[in-house]
Amino acid sequence: MSRGNEHDTDDKRPMLEARGLTKIYDHGSQSPPAVNGLSLSVQAGEFVAIMGASGSGKSTLLYLIAGLATPTSGEVIIDGVPIASLPDAARARLRNTKIGFVFQRFNLLGFLSAKGNIEVPRLLGWRQHGPRRTMDELLAAVGMEKKHLRRVSELSSGEQQRVALARALINDPDILLADEPTGNLDSRNAAAVLDLILRLKRDLGLTTLMVTHNPEVAMRADRIVEMQDGMILRELTSEQMASSAESVFKLTGHLPR
């Protein structure tokens, strides 16, 4: 299932960039920006964990990058394409073909089976070429091959998130955006889903941005970005994590392993 060397030649080019990104939800009042002049660059294949207190703008940042919200100012560039100025259909196409999104609350469609949910991105009709993976391979990859015909309401939380993950990956995206994917799971399921995401990320060479409150999850990223009041408070690379136990502890409250 690996993409092989597809991204090798592009390794130096950012897969996604945020430049001076600002988002103010309510222009009428004096509410503070949810994201405030934030700039971030993520290389292809990189795994970035975004941490921060509730209301720090983590989820909004993810929605802006996915093109699900329009920035008040600034720009998001996906694989060299600025998305803010794209028409709705082009942004929809980009979301469908370039980005896989995993939500904290799974956001599965209750009127479809597990398999039906996974198929939805394909039904939207943007994909020009055939899928890299068959449905069976994808179901096997997330361990849902025996329960794919069940309604989502009949699945456990962990299984629902596996279905959501398969749905995010069905169109062979380059980028995986995950908004606290383990936030609604118990520790056992959380660990299993996280292992799955990391394995698939590694196998598929996905550029991954994951919002998380869990320091142990963040520790497995290539880079940790901490947000506060819509801005980046500090960043920590894997090298820094490896060399400075103090800074890791400061950021995550945990000592590096």
Partner 1 sequence: MLKLMLRQLLHHPVRMFLSMAMISVALLLGLVMKGLATGVMEEKIHRTEGIGADLMIQPPHSSYILGLGENVMPDSMAKKILEVKGVAATTPTATNVSFTNRFEAIFGIDLPSFDRVTGGFQFLQGGPFTGPYTALVDDVYISTHHVKVGSTLDLLNHQFTISGVVEHGKGARVFVPLQTLQNLVSPGKCAVIFVKCTSPGLAGAVLGRLRELDGGALGGYQITRMSDLTSLISPSSFLGLKQFLLVVMVFAGIINFLVIFLALYVQMLGQTREIGVLRALGASRRYVLNLFLGEACLLCLFGGGLSLLLYLLTKTVVLSIYPSLHFLLPAGTLLRVAAIALSSAVLGGAYPAYRASASEPITALAYE
Q: Return residues touching partner 1 (CB under 8 A).
A: 63, 66, 68-70, 88-89, 92-93, 95-97, 101, 103, 107-112, 116, 120-121, 123-126, 167, 171
User: Nearer Cβ to partner 1, position 28 or 110?
Assistant: 110
Shortest spacing between CB 113 and partner 1, in angstroms: 9
The answer to whether 209 and 42 are in contact (CB under 8 A) is yes
Q: Which is nearer to partner 1, 60 or 212 (CB)?
A: 60
Report the nearest approach of partner 1 to the CB of residue 248 (Å).
32
Closest CB 181 distance from partner 1, rounded Å: 14
Give the Cα separation of 194 and 37 in Å (integer).
30
Q: Which is nearer to partner 1, 175 or 248 (CB)?
A: 175
Q: Report the alpha-carbon distance of residue 183 to residue 244 in Å, rounded.
A: 28
Nearest approach in angstroms of CB 157 to partner 1 is: 17
CB of 151 to partner 1, least distance (A): 10
Q: Which is nearer to partner 1, 94 or 251 (CB)?
A: 94
Specify the residue, 42 or 108, whose C-beta has the smaller distance to partner 1.
Answer: 108
Shortest Å, Cβ 202 to partner 1:
24
Pick 42 or 65: Cβ nearer partner 1: 65
**Token pair of 216, please?**
């142990």
